[in-house]
Amino acid sequence: MARAGRVVVVGAGLAGLRTAEELRAAGHDGPLTLVGAEEHLPYDRPPLSKQVLTGSWEPERVALRSADALAELSLDLRLGTRATGLADDAVVLGDGERLPFDHLVVATGVAARRLAHQPRHERVHELRTLEDCLRLQAGLAASRSLLIVGGGFVGAEVAAAARAQGLDVTIVEALPAPFGRVLGTAVAQRCVRLHRDHGVRVLAGARVEELRAGEDGVVLTLADGSVLEADRMLVAVGTSVDAGWAGGTGGAGLACDDHGRVAGRDRVYAVGDVAAWHSPATGDRERVEHWTSATEQARVAARALLGRPVEPAAADLPYFWSDQYRTKIQMVGRPHLADTTRIHDTPGGAAPSVAVYLRRGRLVAAVSFAAPHLLARLRPLVAGAAPEPEVRALTDALGLVPA
């Protein structure tokens, strides 16, 4: 095995931590530095809009590892430290220190995207970090109404948490269908229905003209002139990548091969939300902001960096889950590739339900509502691009009927 020398991992979220662990597991016993911009030990983000926000988990439970488990990794752990520049053989830190490396892994993730003219105000929230989460949680407890700008999954989960606490909730989405960009129109309608059934007002095709916040509350003016008021507001309009310090341009993340090696650099890798890996399945570069992608990329990149054999990725398949109103929504595959979508329900038109996405008669994605066991059955068929009759045989066998 080639010596990896000094390895620096920048980014102490899931992708960075897992990379450090995989490096140690694959035999790297040399110097290993983990640099994190936040002051916290590595923590997990999905629960921030789910279990922590609803209060079913104590915030401490988001810690990905105990201090003892981290100590076993023999890391040079630099928390509260931001990387600001990259030379051929060193990372430049915020305080000017140069951190020399033989191999570098960039795992700095993404930030919450902000709207143009978004005021910085105590009543205007975003949700990316643990502080954001705790601030929002306290804000919800002291409020009777919430406006959510952005019909994505973070907004949807916060809507569910806020409804559970009795707040009056409105989701404002610029596109014709909230959730439609990811799930397609037919399945997105199911999500909208879920929210409306729980008393959420969902406004689609609603463009924000102006956003104001004051001591008494927030005011949103839409392009059609209507005015919405609430006690507070969450802006959840996706994420932005800032990898400029590491040579990334235009918010596209860092272009990588299918082992995470950054294009044009021999000894620099990137993993997680910041990395746009080449996908053998689609032939394109994809930046996938999913939890399981980060864990898988960490394993592959760590082994590639050490010159160890890399087993093919267990599933080169996007996968995510969302918890809303005690309903688990799970997705596997690439719905945007589909030319046909079919929804299958439990007889009576209720959940558990699944949606199957087909392209030229082959399965490219599946989404489940309150049906983790069914998605588990469908996933191998998505991985194998199963033909429609095989998909139908399975949904029939599962006792589902076309919607």
Nearest distance from residue 97's CB to other proteins, in Å? Answer: 33
Q: Is 357 in the site for other proteins (CB under 8 A)?
A: no
* Residue 372 is a binding residue for other proteins (CB under 8 A): yes
Rule CB under 8 A: say whether 314 interacts with other proteins: yes
Which one of 98-106, 155-163, 253-261, 371-379 is the stretch in contact with other proteins (CB under 8 A)? 371-379
Strand residues in 223-264 grouped as ranges (E): 227-230, 232-235, 239-240, 254-256
CB of 16 to other proteins, least distance (A): 15
Nearer to other proteins, 197 or 311 (CB): 311
CA torsion sign, 304 to 305 to 306 to 307?
A: positive
In whole angstroms, the minimum distance from the beta carbon of 173 to other proteins comes to: 26
Is the Cα torsion angle 222, 225, 230, 232 positive or negative in sign? positive
Q: Report the alpha-carbon distance of residue 316 to residue 322 in Å, rounded.
A: 20
Choice from 348, 373, 389, 397 touching other proteins (CB under 8 A): 373
**Which helix (H) or strand (E) is 297 found in, with range?**
helix 291-305
Q: Which is nearer to other proteins, 90 or 383 (CB)?
A: 383
Helix (H, G, I), strand (E, B) or coil at 146: strand
Eight-state DSSP code of residue 41? P
d(Cα 341, Cα 321) in Å, to the nearest integer? 19
Pick the binder of other proteins from 376, 393, 401, 403 (CB under 8 A).
376
φ, ψ for residue 2, nearest 5 deg: -65, 145
User: Is the CB of 149 or the CB of 366 nearer to other proteins?
Assistant: 366
326 is a site residue for other proteins (CB under 8 A): no
Which one of residues 211, 379, 386, 394 is an interface residue with other proteins (CB under 8 A)?
379
Site for other proteins, residues 7 to 26, rule: CB under 8 A? 18
Residue 318 identity (one-letter amino acid): P
Q: Which of residues 120 and 326 has its CB atom nearest to other proteins in the complex?
A: 326
Contacts of 128 (CB under 8 A, 6+ apart): 45, 48, 110, 111, 112, 239
Number of residues near other proteins (by CB under 8 A) = 21
Residue 328 near other proteins by CB under 8 A: yes
Interactions with other proteins, residue window 22-61 (CB under 8 A): 44, 46, 51
DSSP string, 46-81: GGGGTHHHHTSS-GGGGBSS-HHHHHTTT-EEE-S-
| By the rule CB under 8 A, 321 interacts with other proteins | yes
Name which of 227 and 314 has its Cβ closer to other proteins: 314
Shortest Cβ distance from residue 132 to other proteins (Å)? 20
Query: How big is the chain, counted in residues?
Result: 403
Contact status: 70 vs other proteins (CB under 8 A): no
Interaction pattern, residues 283-312, with other proteins; x per rule: CB under 8 A: --------xx--x---x-----------x-
Plot region of 339 (φ>0 → left; ψ -120 to 50 → alpha; else → beta) = alpha
Distance CA 104, CA 287 (A): 19
Q: What is the dihedral of CA 150, 155, 159, 161, to 10 degrees?
A: -160
Residues in touch with other proteins (CB under 8 A):
18, 44, 46, 51, 64, 291-292, 295, 299, 311, 314-315, 321, 328, 330, 372-373, 375-376, 379-380
